[in-house]
A and B are shown apart, each in its own frame.
Chain A
């Protein structure tokens, strides 16, 4: 067992820190300023790309460096500690989908731009009637010669208003079991028939959108993988949504804990216990993620155990969000300081996005503990 860096990893971290010391931008805008946040992230991604820090674990052929996923984790850990956003998660998991399922042409057409931050993607998975039961999605893509004609509606599509491409799941066959009739497409967001409507969230931002699709034409060459492969692809993508990126989130949690420690008074044992509890939850999450990362570095694909990591993440995130709100004074309620309530409310979303807490528990119960299905 070794929780430390290997000599190569340590050298990488040293170089990265030196680069960050020179290039870290001012702190990001607050979460509720969606537009400013988007532009901030895009310019930060380009700076990271110019520094050579994007696509570390990608093949060199597509502009990557062919390193182990551990280096992605180190990168995200250092970015989180420096208080700047992670390497865009779209790069790590949407890119992964193209890498694993894309044709030669698709890889060359999409991957380099994705890496350089020149192209922004969104993920068109959930629908109004297909949330936790994603496989029951009903957006339909009908083959007509060289194009598919898509009709339907997507929901919770993050960043759809800024994206130029969408990784879209649509049904292509209604006559097979629901998991087998789904296909993935790469959709141009400027195609005729697409309407994007941002949704105002409880913390004030408009990070998520509704996307309406009306007779949208997608060329056959923009189908990703074969017809009916969509469900497997989505599973791979969702699994890669976790892992190295999450360590970056944990690093931001650690930075937040350090800030909150400065707010603790000397004689409030209840606050001390709440702080210690949040600290332990963050550590448990971080250290368990390292186990998953070790498995990933050994070449094992992410499995049901990643749901355990997600559940530990939810606990840490929500404990911290509550602690932040509880440590705040009256300005959190008067609205003079919006940060504590925003952090708190955002933490409530942690048990919803990326597969609701209850779905993760089903996975752990049935696929980790082996409890019987009904």
Chain B
């Protein structure tokens, strides 16, 4: 039993390493994956500043308890990053194997399919975490924002909880892309609809 678990863990790690190798083979694209989120985030921040005339909004304070539009938007965008990870990186994983011509080999390997899915999830989480750290550092250097020390650990706990749900979503999308083929449309439609929600105060 313990031997089997070790084998599964090795397979999960191998899947993660394989994805890193593939991504690092296209260095320009890898660098772009770090800069991309910043470029999509900046218009939201500059738009907010243009509307409010600064970075503090009394109306936002009433709705969300914090008046700082910059911190509010950046935090929302971090969650959107994880959402996109589930929809694009995980959701597209099986379709990509199909393009490479390796899906049959992966499915015929002597490990359950959830091991493959967990390998993809591990890689996606690590890659997305790297993107988030890079994003936070750059945004801190540009705008400067503060976080309460006591809030960091609970926030990470909440993100971890959210990730489990997102892994489920990612696997569902992955299965859908196998059925419908034009998978990008499913990911794009779902991410467009879902991204309207998390960045906003709910009142």
A and B from one complex: no
Instruction: Give the interface of B toward A (CB within 8 A).
Output: none
Instruction: Give the interface of A toward B (CB within 8 A).
Output: none
